[in-house]
């Protein structure tokens, strides 16, 4: 709660209970939710929250660099509170998205691509998660 309040204030966003609920949820989850998924979850505890509040709060946090937007599911923007470089694994059975540590994979040759100046990249792996 305190962290969410501070964060909203630092971003110059007036901390309403609805916005605090959005921030608390998005910064704690590693599930890479869409805005609609955030809305659905936050509505369970804060029934008065509007779609516009959720979308605007998420977009403001993304603009401030506290969230990353990713298009990992076809046609859907998801929000990622992990803003450090990392890769992703998408489970094709469940649609779940997992963070893969940056150092777990090696990408080489990006600097030698002729005619391209690479600013950013990540590896998106797709498959099935092994049952333990």
Binding site residues, Zn ion, CB under 5 A: 80, 82, 99
Q: Shortest approach of Zn ion to residue 50 CB, angstroms?
A: 27
Enclosing H/E stretch for 89: strand 86-91
Q: Shortest approach of Zn ion to residue 102 CB, angstroms?
A: 11
Residue 32 burial (10 A CB sphere; 0-12, 13-18, 19+): buried
Q: Shortest approach of Zn ion to residue 98 CB, angstroms?
A: 8
Q: Which is nearer to Zn ion, 50 or 96 (CB)?
A: 96
Rounded Cα gap, residues 52 and 116, in angstroms: 38
> What single-letter DSSP state applies at residue 34?
B
Q: Which is nearer to Zn ion, 94 or 112 (CB)?
A: 94
Q: Shortest approach of Zn ion to residue 88 CB, angstroms?
A: 5
Nearest to 77 by CA among 89, 88, 68, 85: 68
Nearest to 26 by CA among 75, 77, 72, 82: 82
Q: Which is nearer to Zn ion, 45 or 82 (CB)?
A: 82
Residue 53 three-state SS: helix
Q: Which is nearer to Zn ion, 54 or 80 (CB)?
A: 80
């Amino acid at each position: 709660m305190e962290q969410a309040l501070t964060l909203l204030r630092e971003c110059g966003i007036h901390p309403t209970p609805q916005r605090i609920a959005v921030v608390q949820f998005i910064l704690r989850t590693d599930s890479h939710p869409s805005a609609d998924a955030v809305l659905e979850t936050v509505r369970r505890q804060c029934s008065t929250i509007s779609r516009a509040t959720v979308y605007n709060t998420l977009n403001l946090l993304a603009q401030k660099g506290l969230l990353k937007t990713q298009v990992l599911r076809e046609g859907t923007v998801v929000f990622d509170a992990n803003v450090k470089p990392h890769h992703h694994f998408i489970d094709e059975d469940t649609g779940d998205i997992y963070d893969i540590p940056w150092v777990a994979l090696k990408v080489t040759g990006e600097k030698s691509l002729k005619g391209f100046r690479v600013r950013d990249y990540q590896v998106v792996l797709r498959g099935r998660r092994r049952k333990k």
